[in-house]
Amino acid sequence: MTSQPIDESVRVVHRRRVEWLPYLLSLPALLVCVGILIPFVTALYYSMLRFRLNLPALKGFIWFGNYTNLLYDAEFWNTISISLRYTAITVGVELVLGLIIALLLQRQTLINNMISVLLLLPLMTAPAIASLMWKLMTNPNFGILSYLVSLAGVSDFRWASSPSSALFTVVLVDVWVYTPFMMVLLLAGLRSLPQQPFEAAALDGVPRLFVFFRITLPMLSPYIITASLFRLLDAIQQFDIVYAMTQGGPGNTLLVFQVRAYLEFYQYTNVGKSAALLVVLWVITYVLSNIFIKNWLRLRARSHASA
Amino acid sequence: MDRSSFVERALRGLLLTLIVIFFLFPIFWILLMSFQTNEQILRIPPSLSFVPTLDNYRALISGHLLTSAGSLDIAFMRNLGNSCCCRPVPWCWR
């Protein structure tokens, strides 16, 4: 009975202190959140407007008109197919190549460490600069690679300026720039794996292919998924390499999402369509990363449960 | 791994050499280009024989490149300054 008032006053003091402190502490996060949300909501709003800079009188709210227009646009489906193909090819090639290099460099010797440091050099060049370098080297007139290819007997290989080889050239540059990233992550993963399973397998005389597919790969899969996720999100939003190499390619062969949205805005001044394209890109990215993160969490839970 | 055969080690070495060439050749080639004059860069076919020149680096620092086709103004030092210290000082953007 007597303790009741004391208890209440304590609670009041407690509540008063709680009232503002959490808000103050989370204020930075709130500010960042608002800073992210304002451009995002603006883009969503623009994507529902008929908004052309050259026809300002027609500006008006049309709900999902831009999206339904996209559905009937053959160019849009072309963009989706190119973006997905580009992403699949680059991530696949980089994953396989990065894994091969990581396996080759797995043992910690002096020369292996030196090579792994040297291989990081492409990652340190800015992608736009790297594509300018490759543009110089693949120039059909004086480029060294064109010359080497012609020495090998392939005459008239046009690299980025022919529709049939433009995708190959851009993928080559992307692979050149980003494979070291894959390699570093996978190498760190490989070197941190516990040694016991491998020793046991060696004692039992298990064939090495079997060891690779049944021990190394499963244990490495969290690293593989993390590295691929990063590259996947980067590749589907690829802009700088494609734009610096070909500006969307001969014709429409390389119009990936961001390049197309950029051209839609700055060349055709169609803000609504550009925003709608980017919102579609956001949806694709969101779905892909959700799938990957779910898988990653499941894998991690499984490895923790078994450990 | 210590009992790996000679063939396997040779194969590993070969693969690593190819990989290192693929990743380092572009950087090496651009480095070479930076010591060449425009005429030497634009030669057909490209060749490795040239007398290295520091003109390009001198041009970056002084801001003027004199070529046979004419002179060129380069704002590299100002760009570098802007990149290093992105400060809103009037004499930085000029």
Tell me which of B63 and A103 has the higher pLDDT: A103
Work out the average pLDDT over A136-159. 83
Is 80 exceeded by the pLDDT of residue A101?
A: yes
User: A118, B19: Cβ pair inside 8 Å?
Assistant: no
Residue A95 lies inside a defined structural domain of this protein:
yes
Q: How many domains does chain A have?
A: 1
User: A136, B33: Cβ pair inside 8 Å?
Assistant: yes
Judge contact between A166 and B67, C-beta under 8 A.
Answer: no
Residue A61 host element (H or E): strand A60-61
User: Domain span at residue A269?
Assistant: 60-306
Tell me which of B72 and A93 has the higher pLDDT: A93
CA of residue A7 relative to chain centroid, distance: 55
Is 50 exceeded by the pLDDT of residue B1?
A: no
Residue A45 lies inside a defined structural domain of this protein:
no
pLDDT of residue B79: 80
| Residue tagged 């009041």 (tokens) | A12
Q: Residues A253-269: pLDDT tens digits?
A: 888 889 999 998 998 88
User: A104, B41: Cβ pair inside 8 Å?
Assistant: no
Residue A220 lies inside a defined structural domain of this protein:
yes
pLDDT of residue A268: 87
Work out the average pLDDT over A203-221. 87
pLDDT of residue A178: 93
Residue A48 lies inside a defined structural domain of this protein:
no
In Å, how far is A176's CA from the nearest CA of chain B? 6
Q: Tokens standing for B65?
A: 């490149």
Closest CA to A274 of A282, B11, A194: A282
Size of interface A-B (CB pairs under 8 A): 52
DSSP string, A73-114: -HHHHHHHHHHHHHHHHHHHHHHHHHHHHHHHT-S--HHHHH
Work out the average pLDDT over A95-124. 91
3-state SS, one letter per residue, for chain B: CCCCCHHHHHHHHHHHHHHHHHHHHHHHHHHHHCCCCHHHHCCCCCCCCCCCCCHHHHHHHHCEEEECCEEEECCHHHHHHHHHCCCCCHHHHC
Is 50 exceeded by the pLDDT of residue A195?
A: yes
Is 60 exceeded by the pLDDT of residue B89?
A: no
Q: How far apart are CA A42 and CA A57, in angstroms?
A: 20
Judge contact between A97 and A104, C-beta under 8 A.
Answer: no
Tell me which of B63 and B17 has the higher pLDDT: B17
Q: Three-state DSSP class for A50?
A: strand
Is 60 exceeded by the pLDDT of residue A5?
A: no
Interface test with B, best of A120, A123, A142 (most B CBs within 10 A): A142
ipTM for this model = 0.77
**Which residue from B16, B29, B42 is facing A115, i.e. has the nearest CB?**
B16
Set of chain A residues whose Cβ sits within 8 Å of the Cβ of B1: 107
Confidence of residue A152 (pLDDT cuts 50, 70, 90): confident
Q: Tokens standing for A232?
A: 């996947």
Tell me which of B44 and A49 has the higher pLDDT: A49
Interface test with A, best of B19, B41, B43 (most A CBs within 10 A): B19
**Partner A contacted by B89 (CB < 8 A):** no
Is 70 exceeded by the pLDDT of residue B92?
A: no
Is 50 exceeded by the pLDDT of residue A1?
A: no
Backbone dihedral angles phi then psi of residue A61, each to the nearest 5 degrees: -85, 125
Distances in Å between the Cα of A290 and the Cα atoms of A233, A277, A296 are: 11, 20, 10
CATH number, domain of A82, equals 1.10.3720.10
User: A143, B43: Cβ pair inside 8 Å?
Assistant: no
Global pTM reads 0.82
Residues 33-62 of B with CB under 8 A from A: 33, 41-46
Residue A27 lies inside a defined structural domain of this protein:
no
Residue A60 host element (H or E): strand A60-61
Range with the lowest mean pLDDT among A55-64, A233-242, A255-264, A271-280? A55-64
Judge contact between A118 and A184, C-beta under 8 A.
Answer: no
Set of chain B residues whose Cβ sits within 8 Å of the Cβ of A107: 1
Confidence of residue A12 (pLDDT cuts 50, 70, 90): low
Report chain A's mean pLDDT, rounded to a whole number: 86
pLDDT of residue A2: 47
**Partner A contacted by B12 (CB < 8 A):** yes
DSSP string, A241-303: HHHHHHSS-STTTT--HHHHHHHHHHTT-BHHHHHHHHHHHHHHHHHHHHHHHHHHHHHHHHH
**Partner B contacted by A142 (CB < 8 A):** yes
DSSP state at residue A195: S
Is 90 exceeded by the pLDDT of residue A301?
A: no
Range with the lowest mean pLDDT among A124-128, B14-18, B23-27, B43-47? B43-47
Q: How far apart are CA A298 and CA A93, in angstroms?
A: 25
**Partner A contacted by B16 (CB < 8 A):** yes
**Partner B contacted by A195 (CB < 8 A):** no
Work out the average pLDDT over A271-282. 92
DSSP state at residue A48: T
Distances in Å between the Cα of A223 and the Cα atoms of A120, A179, A187, A198, B83 are: 18, 15, 9, 18, 34
Q: How far apart are CA A67 and CA A47, in angstroms?
A: 8
Torsion sign, CA atoms A184, A89, A234, B18:
positive
Work out the average pLDDT over A276-294. 90
Is 50 exceeded by the pLDDT of residue B94?
A: no
Is 80 exceeded by the pLDDT of residue A291?
A: yes
Q: How far apart are CA A178 and CA A126, in angstroms?
A: 11
Residue A42 lies inside a defined structural domain of this protein:
no
Judge contact between A193 and A221, C-beta under 8 A.
Answer: no
Q: Residues B40-88: pLDDT tens digits?
A: 888 777 777 788 888 888 888 887 777 766 777 777 787 887 777 765 5
Residues 211-240 of A with CB under 8 A from B: none
Residue A35 lies inside a defined structural domain of this protein:
no
Q: Tokens standing for A107?
A: 């043992």
Residue A268 lies inside a defined structural domain of this protein:
yes
Q: How far apart are CA A15 and CA A228, in angstroms?
A: 47
